[in-house]
A and B are shown apart, each in its own frame.
Chain A
């Protein structure tokens, strides 16, 4: 059987892989995206949908800001508004001590030239989030932040990528890759594909690709849990997050409330399965119970977890392979990759096409894990 050929093989049909495929196609290249399940099956399709610049690691901020600009006009890029709406993200301080830490963060960001995070006092906090418990002295806000529908977003990027010339193959697994001169031969469960360039956007499975290339990474498979309530009357606009206690909290337009925050289920990545940890979900429930008394009698309808990858330093791997020319990595977004999807795809396409990127990705390279 003769191999199919492409300019680039993208491994993984999460939002990142789909975004990269789209941006490659927009540059006139022919990518083939290979996805073992279907686009958005895992974390990309079932995450909390937060589109957040707030409280990010310094190394990610340029990517996050570039992404925000795409999110605000996402319909122009993909022909679908992705359910995006912007009511800001608020990081609530539960004590004066915590608020002082936020103040130092804002000062530090200003020195670095970033102004998207803003310190707010109790009055402004109550104006933005009237339902929040009175014990909270203030917080941080990023006013342009918002939320989107994760599965719809991933599907929209996938669809537009195909419309622009990308090929998306679903239900097909990458089983190996080897270099043959200047061409990579990607073996799949549906036959080989040859291309000079490969993008590893395989999420919780990306370490297996990296290991094949001789650059193993300490990737941890995680499954952050979420739960959703039945519909309750509208009472909160922004996404609310906590740092001291793990919580993210958001009411959707249909009235349901999505509660997350990073408590983890037990993932079984080879079975596409997760087992929820109710003791930890109960902790989330208690936090909501204390912070939003209005939610106490709300009904929890469903809980779930999506499988994804976390790196030890909780920032992603973005950039060229250290060992293998023509291969680029895009994984390990450590439970906060959804917002970064649009711009990271553009950066990857630029890297693949030109070998460089105008947007700084310093500190995100795979070489940080070489020993």
Chain B
């Protein structure tokens, strides 16, 4: 599939090929809606089912049955009649639903009558001293190479952080024959107090049994220490991990403290967002069909607020049902009520997990020389001092320090900067707000941009 082969417009454009995108595209295409799904990876699956059609990890017990559940979704999407385009990077979406997409170095602007953003989540920034050293990476990145290439961590590996994904990856590494020296659990003990009221719900949810089994499996093989501080140290590369419980030599440190919605595309499209105090992140304001404040644009999956992969698929279906209703009212559709009920079941227990794994302030709001913005090398001390000087928000902070203006477009510093400003100015993240995000939401080359077809008007101007 090349950019030039795309139609100038589609009824429905789905962005992202994880569970939400796959489920949405399948449902819409089956209902007779002309649907294209753009996914930037070489194969569908998103992060949770990454490599689902191509992974070399064929022993199913390693990645687990929850991973392989993605296979049915991928097959269903393939058979649905939706056009699925991999290697397609969407770099712009405007309120008129014009989608800027690049495939193999060529860019096109595609019109959509409806858009479902299913760009999922990203790992929360984990700004500790030394987090930019070679030898330090995120648990998510390690899981990506495990799923896609079957690669295991090499050398003395330490994991630090909190959240279900960390424990899942630990189990997957161990099952695949890998080794972990230690897990430094950064979960604050007092989290249990806030989580406790939600325990009954959690005990009824599928997470309960799975979670306990996972913890037992990992703790049987790896020493786990509760820590209140973590730093990576080394000269030019990681050589040891330092915590309040001592120092340990290490070649690889895997960091993780939960995932947050990937908001860049929805923000650039102009969708209204709000602060989620429980999950400590911004998320789009959505109605029960996952429609955003911008007409015709919905956000499904973890991009709508973190709820996990199976919930993401149900959310994708609900967004697709609403899109089909608007585009093709005569189409036969599944009953949205039953989808909603399934979604409710999947979301049960989430409050307990969120409160239990809520990262401590000290791991979200660094101090001193710890880098906040990796692209422009801006430190926590600089951000705090600039806020003290009177800088009221992240957009002014960009102008003062250039933080958030590098190639990652704020993904790795946005939440940290917002929270630091809120703390210094005794305000709240909701009041401080987030970066104003501008397309391209993913960098494109000048040559790609120059490859956009010349418009009729422009051609006439040249010929005249």
Contacts and interface: CB of A to CB of B under 8 A. Distances in A.
A6 interface: no
Given A279-B452, A301-B407, 6 more contacts: A276-B92, A282-B449, A282-B450, A296-B447, A298-B445, A301-B443
Given A151-B399, A299-B444, A281 B458 contact: no
A230 B449 contact: no
Contacts of B392: 38
Contacts of B407: 230, 299, 301
Contact of B458 (A152, A283, A301): A283
9 nearest A-B pairs in the assembled complex, by CB-CB distance? A151-B399, A282-B452, A285-B449, A285-B450, A299-B443, A289-B450, A286-B450, A279-B455, A304-B438
A313 interface: no
A92 to B, nearest CB: 18
A244 to B, nearest CB: 11
A23 B165 CA distance: 59
Interface string B186-214: 00000000000000000000000000000
Interface string B86-115: 000000101110101000000101000000
B440 interface: yes
Nearest to A305: B438
B435 to A, nearest CB: 10
Contacts of A298: 445-446
A178 interface: no
A273 B446 contact: no
A56 B452 CA distance: 33
Given A279-B109, A285-B446, A296-B447, A302 B96 contact: no
Contacts of B396: 38, 151
A300 B94 contact: no
Nearest to A152: B399
Contacts of A296: 445-447, 450
A298 B445 CA distance: 6
B270 A273 contact: yes
Contacts of A300: 440, 443-446, 449
Contacts of B449: 278, 281-282, 285, 300
B341 to A, nearest CB: 38
B455 A295 contact: no
B461 to A, nearest CB: 10
A183 interface: no
Contacts of A301: 405-407, 409, 440, 443
B194 to A, nearest CB: 34
B32 interface: no
A77 interface: no
A52 to B, nearest CB: 21
27 contacts: A254-B402, A276-B94, A276-B439, A278-B452, A279-B452, A281-B449, A282-B107, A283-B454, A285-B447, A285-B450, A286-B450, A289-B447, A289-B450, A296-B450, A297-B445, A298-B445, A298-B446, A299-B445, A299-B446, A300-B440, A300-B445, A300-B446, A301-B405, A301-B407, A301-B443, A302-B438, A304-B438
A295 B445 CA distance: 9
Question: Counting chain B CB atoms within 10 Å of each CB, which of A45, A282, A297, A299 scores highest?
Answer: A282
Nearest to A45: B399
Interface in B215-250: none
A234 interface: no
Nearest to A279: B455
A288 B448 CA distance: 12
A278 B92 contact: yes
